[in-house]
Structures are given as structure tokens and as C-alpha cells.
């Protein structure tokens, strides 16, 4: 969020997740947790208008796959 507030371009998600993990020791440990963080960030970026509408179908596909993969967690 800080990167966006400064008007900078976002980099690879992996780098941000590693930074979160450094700040909160082992806060992201499982595949489900990584998926959850990705999903939350994608929802935020989409609603805030940082993701073009042309990517909507791809995001919907990811959300559907995410929901299937995390069902029951």
C-alpha cells in the first residue's frame, strides 16, 4: 500500500510477501496463507482501480480457483 501511495509501480508479489514475513516473523507459512494474502491484495488493487478491467476475467478465474483450493480451510 505504501508503494501505491508514493505513486510507484508495483513489483513482483513474492518480494512483498517476503517483506511481510520479515516484519512478522513467519507470519506466512502455508500455501493457503500465501493464497489468502494474494487474494486480499488482488481484491484491494481491483477495487482501488489499480488493475485494468481487461484483467477482470483472469482475476475471476483466479478467485474461482482460490475458492476451490481453500474450501474447508
| Average pLDDT in the chain | 81
Number of domains in the chain: 1
Q: What is the pLDDT of residue 60?
A: 92
Could you tell me the pLDDT band of residue 40, with boundaries at 50, 70 and 90? confident
H or E element in which residue 34 lies:
helix 31-47
Give the separation between CA 71 and CA 67, rounded to whole angstroms. 6
Query: Range of 59's domain?
Result: 2-70
Task: List the Cα angle 17/59/12 in 5-degree steps.
Answer: 30
Give the separation between CA 71 and CA 73, rounded to whole angstroms. 6
Grid cell for residue 4: 501505491
pTM, full prediction: 0.64
Residue 71, CA distances (Å) to 12, 17, 42, 59 in order: 26, 22, 19, 18
Q: What percent of the chain has pLDDT over 70?
A: 93
pLDDT in tens, 8-25: 777 777 777 777 777 777
Amino acid at each position: 500500500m505504501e508503494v501505491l501511495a508514493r505513486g510507484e509501480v508495483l513489483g513482483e508479489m513474492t518480494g512483498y510477501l517476503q517483506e511481510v514475513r520479515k516484519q512478522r516473523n513467519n507470519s506466512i507459512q502455508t500455501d493457503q496463507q500465501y493464497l489468502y494474502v494474494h487474494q486480499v491484495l488482488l481484491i484491494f488493487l481491483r477495487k482501488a482501480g489499480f488493475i485494468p478491467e481487461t484483467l477482470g476475467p483472469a482475476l475471476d478465474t483466479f478467485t474461482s480457483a482460490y475458492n476451490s483450493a481453500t474450501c474447508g480451510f
